[in-house]
Structure 1
């Protein structure tokens, strides 16, 4: 068997990393191109991040405004209930029988020969108390206006 010649040199195999990342100096044009791509990608990333942050802020603002709307609706419903109550009181005050009962219960007035017994469960007296509260609340503001 003949010996192989000595001028045959085995080939060095390059690893996949060496083949993938060839080491050669980049030209100015390639460096500029890489910097431009990096700048564009960074700008897009920052724009996306700011867009997400702004979206979250807008969402929180919408929730806060929705809560305020609900609170205002509750206030309006309460005011409408108060208006209905006051309208009911106005209609009652137009009734002469109710005014007579109210005067008798509040000021202990009576008809000739009539005896008045005030019971706490009496519905008219409850309404009279409620009306008294309303009038008393208004009186300090009237006194402040007159005194000031």
Structure 2
């Protein structure tokens, strides 16, 4: 029986050494596998963050461009209104009655046999009325064109 007792510890020693070698090999392989996996996951995360950052920057740039377009369209509509007012004034200046009223109010011109007594307040209010009329006509024309179109 002594021989069997001696054999078992020897087998146990060999199998323990072999299992330790296998564990060492596995642990090296596992470490290499873990390092590769970590590098891949890290690389994917880095690429993902870069894409998200680029998308965020593109979205901000798109908002800025949209804001600029809105500002430019507001400026354009203001310029169109100013142009329409100037066109209305030009058409009013073709009317002789309007020009006569304007000349009489601004430059104190009168018809034959007419005497003008103008106070500064009256002159300012007349000019304001003339401009208000022109603006109302402009607005009416714009309303008609927007309803007709």
TM-score, normalised with respect to structure 1 = 0.61
- Return the alpha-carbon distance in structure 2 between the equivalents of residues 115 and 75 of structure 1: 46
Q: Secondary structure in 2 aligned to 1:33? A: helix
How big is the shift at 1:32? 3.4
Higher relative contact order (CA 8 A, sep 6+): 2
RMSD (Å) for aligned C-alpha atoms? 2.5
| Structure number having the greater helix percentage | 2
> For residue 23 of structure 2, what is the aligned residue in structure 1?
24
TM-score, normalised with respect to structure 2 = 0.61
> For residue 51 of structure 1, what is the aligned residue in structure 2?
51
> For residue 65 of structure 1, what is the aligned residue in structure 2?
65
Q: Give 1:121's match in structure 2, choosing from 117, 125, 129.
A: 125
Q: Which segments of 5 or more consecutive residues in structure 1 lack a partner in the other structure?
A: 1-22, 131-148
Q: Secondary structure in 2 aligned to 1:114? A: coil
Q: Deviations over 1:39-94 (max 9, x none)?
A: 11111000011111111111111111111111111111110110110000000011
Gap change, CA 1:72 and 1:39, over 3 Å in 2: same
The count of aligned residue pairs is 106
